[in-house]
């Protein structure tokens, strides 16, 4: 009988204390060891609270897995808030910055360990994070509710150690007091991928796109799926992707993208960031909506 285990799809969390070696030198072995134990206990508590599994502790970190993305994001946000509160209350002798990476994919679980590219990606994302940061891969965004999607900030594509091509990375804004200027006042209407269409209109050009046609690139080059020929528009200015139940607009430009919904007065300013498109409105490329000459694409979501 084969001893090979069948891969299972999991969300992988790799958490690591920043500068743990320096803490042992500055605090002494006994104090630093107790501090590391407190951090791993806090992480383990958050993992259990949100129905995850601690695969192993790493002295100054934790490797854990979750069945779904939302619970993993909640757990990581909770432990960051817990550690930040320790710093405010003086519970620990020094601030404890934790860096966390999340990825999702097939893994092989064995007693006390976990293997797979998703584990490697989570570890590399943790390596690339700063103290107090949570970095996630694209796959972790799948299935997240809108209130969590609103807390994701795109960092663009970055090179991770050991990867030959840049990987799209997002940061989770976990601070409870954080206010997102990109948060949509109303939840977008979720329509079926079979019937939903996105119409884009610029000057005398009007084009419908189905979810199957995404990603849709808006840019100055004729190679873009929707071309806007204006000097302020980047060659690849923005990307629109179907994310399972909605269209997501991501700014890729040098000069920025602004979105204004017809039913709202506020304007969303995107700088390598993203937002959900819903209803109808305007996408201003490379210039603010207050500029009457701004190259403006009208968008509208409708049933086929």
Looking at the structure, do residues 214 and 289 belong to the same domain, yes or no?
yes
For residue 190, what pLDDT band results from cuts at 50, 70 and 90? very low
Q: How far apart are CA 250 and CA 60, in angstroms?
A: 36
Q: How far apart are CA 213 and CA 200, in angstroms?
A: 13
Give the structural domain span for 151: 8-172
Looking at the structure, do residues 213 and 124 belong to the same domain, yes or no?
no
Three-class secondary structure assignment of the chain: CCCCCCCEEEEEEEEEECCHHHHHHHHCHHHHHHHHHHHHHHHHHHHHHCCCEEEEECCCEEEEEECCHHHHHHHHHHHHHHHHHHHHHCCCCCCCCEEEEEEEEEEEEECCEEECHHHHHHHHHHHHCCCCCEEEEHHHHCCCCHHHHCCEEEEEEECCCCCCCCEEEEEECCCCCCCCCCCCCCCCCCCCCCCEEEEEEECCEEEEECHHHCCEEEECCCCCCEECCCCCCCCCCEEEEECCCCEEEEECCCCCEEEEECCCCCEEEECCCEEEECCEEEEEECCCCCCCCCCEEEEEEEEC
Q: What is the pLDDT of residues 93-111, one digit of tens each?
A: 566 788 899 999 999 999 9
Looking at the structure, do residues 45 and 131 belong to the same domain, yes or no?
yes
Task: Give the count of domains, the chain.
Answer: 2
CA angle (110 as vertex; 105, 111 as ends), nearest 5: 135
Looking at the structure, do residues 164 and 202 belong to the same domain, yes or no?
no
Looking at the structure, do residues 141 and 21 belong to the same domain, yes or no?
yes
Q: Is residue 77 part of a domain?
A: yes
Give me the CATH number covering residue 95.
3.30.70.1230
If you average pLDDT over residues 275-284, what whole number do you get? Answer: 86
Q: How many residues appear in the chain?
A: 304
CB crowding 242-278: b at 16 or more within 10 Å, else e = bbebbbbbbbbbeebbbbebeeeeebbbbeebbbbbb
Domain boundary among 110, 140, 172: 172
Q: Is residue 190 part of a domain?
A: no
Least reliable range by pLDDT among 123-127, 132-136, 274-278: 274-278
Give me the CATH number covering residue 247.
2.60.200.20
Q: Is residue 139 part of a domain?
A: yes
Looking at the structure, do residues 130 and 162 belong to the same domain, yes or no?
yes
Looking at the structure, do residues 259 and 163 belong to the same domain, yes or no?
no
pTM summary value = 0.58
On whether the CB atoms of residues 15 and 79 are closer than 8 A, the answer is yes
Q: Is residue 185 part of a domain?
A: no
Looking at the structure, do residues 36 and 151 belong to the same domain, yes or no?
yes
Q: Is residue 131 part of a domain?
A: yes
Q: Is residue 269 part of a domain?
A: yes
Q: What is the pLDDT of residues 230-254, one digit of tens each?
A: 999 999 999 998 876 678 888 999 8
Looking at the structure, do residues 147 and 217 belong to the same domain, yes or no?
no
Spell out the residues 6+ positions from residue 37 whose beta carbon is closer than 8 angstroms to its own: none
Q: Is residue 2 part of a domain?
A: no
**27 vs 42, higher pLDDT:** 42
Token pair 């006042």 is at which residue?
A: 185
Q: How far apart are CA 294 and CA 289, in angstroms?
A: 6
Rank 31-35, 44-48, 161-165 by mean pLDDT and report only the highest.
44-48
Looking at the structure, do residues 164 and 22 belong to the same domain, yes or no?
yes
Q: Is residue 58 part of a domain?
A: yes
pLDDT on residue 189: 43
Residue 273 clears pLDDT 90, i.e. is over it: no
Looking at the structure, do residues 16 and 126 belong to the same domain, yes or no?
yes
Looking at the structure, do residues 143 and 232 belong to the same domain, yes or no?
no
């Amino acid at each position: 009988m084969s001893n090979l285990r069948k891969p299972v799809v999991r969300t992988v969390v790799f958490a690591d204390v920043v500068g743990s070696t320096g803490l042992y030198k500055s605090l002494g072995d006994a104090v630093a060891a107790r501090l590391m134990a407190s951090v791993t206990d806090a992480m383990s508590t958050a993992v259990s609270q949100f129905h995850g599994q601690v695969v192993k502790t790493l002295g100054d970190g934790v490797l854990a897995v979750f069945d779904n993305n939302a619970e993993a994001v909640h757990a990581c946000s909770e432990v960051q808030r817990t550690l930040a509160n320790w710093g405010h209350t003086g519970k620990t002798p020094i601030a404890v910055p934790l860096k966390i990476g999340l990825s999702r994919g097939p893994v092989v679980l064995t007693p006390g360990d976990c293997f797979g590219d998703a584990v490697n990606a989570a570890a590399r994302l943790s390596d690339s994070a700063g103290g107090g940061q949570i970095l996630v891969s694209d796959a972790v965004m799948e299935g997240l509710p809108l209130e969590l999607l609103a807390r994701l900030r795109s960092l663009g594509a970055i090179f991770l150690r050991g990867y030959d091509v840049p990987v799209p990375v997002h940061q989770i804004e976990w601070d409870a007091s954080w206010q997102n200027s990109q948060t949509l006042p109303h939840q977008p209407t979720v329509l079926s991928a079979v019937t939903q269409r996105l119409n884009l209109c610029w000057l005398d050009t009007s084009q419908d796109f189905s979810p199957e046609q995404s990603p849709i690139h808006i840019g100055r080059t004729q190679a873009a799926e929707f071309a806007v020929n204006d000097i302020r528009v980047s060659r690849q200015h923005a990307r629109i992707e179907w994310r399972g139940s909605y269209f997501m607009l991501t700014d890729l430009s040098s000069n920025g993208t602004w979105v204004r919904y017809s039913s709202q007065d506020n304007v969303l300013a995107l700088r390598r960031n993203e937002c959900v498109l819903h209803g109808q409105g305007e996408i201003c490329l490379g210039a603010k909506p207050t500029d009457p000459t701004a190259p403006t694409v009208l968008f509208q979501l409708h049933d086929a």
